[in-house]
Amino acid sequence: MLISSEGIVLRQTRITGGRRLINLFTRDYGKITAGTSLNEKGKSRAALALRPFTYSEYDIFKSKNSFNINSASVRESFYSIGEDMDRYFAASKLIEYIDSILEEGVPSPKLFEMTIECLRCMSESVNGPRTLLYAFVIKSLRVLGVMPHTASCINCGREDVVLPVFSVTAGGLLCSECASLHGIQESGREPSRLIYEPSFDIVQVLDYFIKTPFRQFIRLNLKPEVESELEMIVSEYVSYYLGSDVFRNSVSLGIE
């Protein structure tokens, strides 16, 4: 059966016979693995569509157990990502993250839209491609239904107290009382990596990331101290809830 879908290349691997395996994030079919004899070298429309950071339309032959990309044409190329190290690094992490959280064959049009818009903004970003990356990750938590709970203490439900502690394992904020109880339960389970006392207003920051469109992050940089703390929390959080170690392994996203 011939199908067609918009998509973006997540990864590609050379296989025998001059063929490639392409991991493609498609709008209509989610993440799929497709073989192809098309080559990214050269200047043909199909060649360009196999390059990284390119949003394309793919014509795919679908058999019972496999996909083959027959032809492709570029819709939009975010080529300027490759012209800047910071953009390139942030966009590569974005693609790696998406690849790690998507299940094969499960469509997620919302995440697809977000990916295209985030790459578009990264390609135009002036000084904050990493802020766009955090914005994507935090927005994705909401789409995937694992957004941290911040409206009240996640353990006792109190709203009228200060909530100074963010617990990864509990999935949100804790009041001081519950935090000390929780801390005891957590001892021996890497408590220092899973319980944080953010020095910034994490409720405000998460809320801002959720409500603000990607476009507004093009010129926005987080304060370095907020960024490094947020990165630590987010990397442990996505590792714990989504099994994605993309940010954990990077240790630092290049913060000086």
State the minimum distance, in angstroms, from the CB of residue 177 to Zn ion: 6
**Which residue, 157 or 213, is less far from Zn ion as judged by CB?**
157
Write down the residue that tokens 């390609």 correspond to: 123
**Which residue, 8 or 153, is less far from Zn ion as judged by CB?**
153
117 three-class SS: helix
**Which residue, 93 or 182, is less far from Zn ion as judged by CB?**
182
Q: How crowded is the C-beta side of 29, counted as CA atoms within 13 Å?
A: 22
For residue 17, give Cα distances in angstroms to 35, 58, 210.
11, 21, 46
**Which residue, 56 or 155, is less far from Zn ion as judged by CB?**
155
The residues that touch Zn ion, with contacts defined as CB under 5 A, are 153, 155-156, 175, 178
**Which residue, 60 or 154, is less far from Zn ion as judged by CB?**
154
State the minimum distance, in angstroms, from the CB of residue 190 to Zn ion: 22
State the minimum distance, in angstroms, from the CB of residue 178 to Zn ion: 3
Between CA 43 and CA 182 the distance in angstroms is 58
Between CA 131 and CA 18 the distance in angstroms is 39
Contact call for residues 30 and 10 (beta carbons, < 8 A): no
Phi and psi at residue 40, to the nearest 5°:
-80, -15
State the minimum distance, in angstroms, from the CB of residue 165 to Zn ion: 9
State the minimum distance, in angstroms, from the CB of residue 195 to Zn ion: 14
